[in-house]
Amino acid sequence: MAKKSQSSADRRAKIEEMRAQQRSSERRRTMLVVTAAVVIGGGLVAAAAIPLVRQTLDDPANKDWAEFGVTAADASCDDVQQEPPSGEADHRPDGEVIEYDAAPPATGPHYAVPAPFTRKFYTPDDSPEVERLVHNLEHGYAVLWYDPDVLGEQEQTLRDLAVKTAESDDTQEATAGKVIVAPWDTGRGELPDGMSYALTRWGAEQGYRQYCGELSGEVVRDFVEAHPSSDAPEPFGA
């Protein structure tokens, strides 16, 4: 009987050992499945996230000012010019061609209705009249004028810069985003030699103008910060 009992005990021990090995094997398989699922799941999440990350990084509003065109030092800009403002609330009928003293104007008589406030970029094919944009200047907008000859080379950068300025004009929420990028009609006056861009803004006591040979996001930022829209005659016009 002792041998039989010993034999039964041995079998039970072997059975328990086999069961333990089976449980261990099952645990290993489970861990492999879980690990594989985590890796696959992580890969799927990463695959879905990468385009979103790229889209965020490519959004012009998230780019640094230095990424638009050349540096301020390389933009070949003149010093900012100042002139006494004129033409406040001097509304002229649509269609009248107003003779301005400067190309482009920073202040002056203008049409009664400004350009739409929702548009930040214009091409020569759809740009408002100069007289209309001058009214936007009175409302605190800055205008970045460009020579139409540069459009073929710089259009995307100009479009992206318009997006950037729409998000980052100045720190006053009520007047932020007030920058318009528009072509200068060279038939109304040539830009100075070597200059392809001009920035203008209408201040309460001075009009401001700066010419540049090259496009520079840093120059636009500095001009807007130095001459905030809150200084305009009608800064809270939309």
- Mind listing the pLDDT tens digit for each residue in 72-114? 999 999 999 999 999 999 999 999 999 999 999 999 999 999 9
More confident residue, 150 or 24: 150
- Mind listing the pLDDT tens digit for each residue in 196-224? 999 999 999 999 999 999 999 999 999 99
| pLDDT score at 171 | 43
| pLDDT score at 53 | 40
Distance CA 213, CA 67 (A): 17
- Percent of the chain with pLDDT strictly greater than 90: 68
CA 135, 102, 204, 123 torsion: positive or negative? positive
Kindly indicate the confidence band of residue 176, based on its pLDDT and cuts at 50, 70 and 90: low
Distance CA 39, CA 229 (A): 52
| pLDDT score at 14 | 56
Q: Say how many CA atoms lie within 13 Å of 143 toward its Cβ.
A: 33
| pLDDT score at 173 | 44
Collect all residues with Cβ–Cβ distance below 8 Å to 56 and sequence separation of at least 6.
62
Could you please report the per-residue DSSP string of 165-213?
HHHHS-S-GGGTT-EEEEE--GGG-PPPTT--EEEEEE-SS-EEEEEES
Distance CA 73, CA 143 (A): 21
Distance CA 232, CA 101 (A): 20
Instruction: Answer for the pair 115, 162: CB distance below 8 angstroms, yes or no.
Output: no
| pLDDT score at 115 | 96
More confident residue, 175 or 91: 91
| pLDDT score at 54 | 40
Task: Delimit the domains of the chain by residue range.
Answer: 1-58, 66-231
- Mind listing the pLDDT tens digit for each residue in 121-135? 999 999 999 999 999
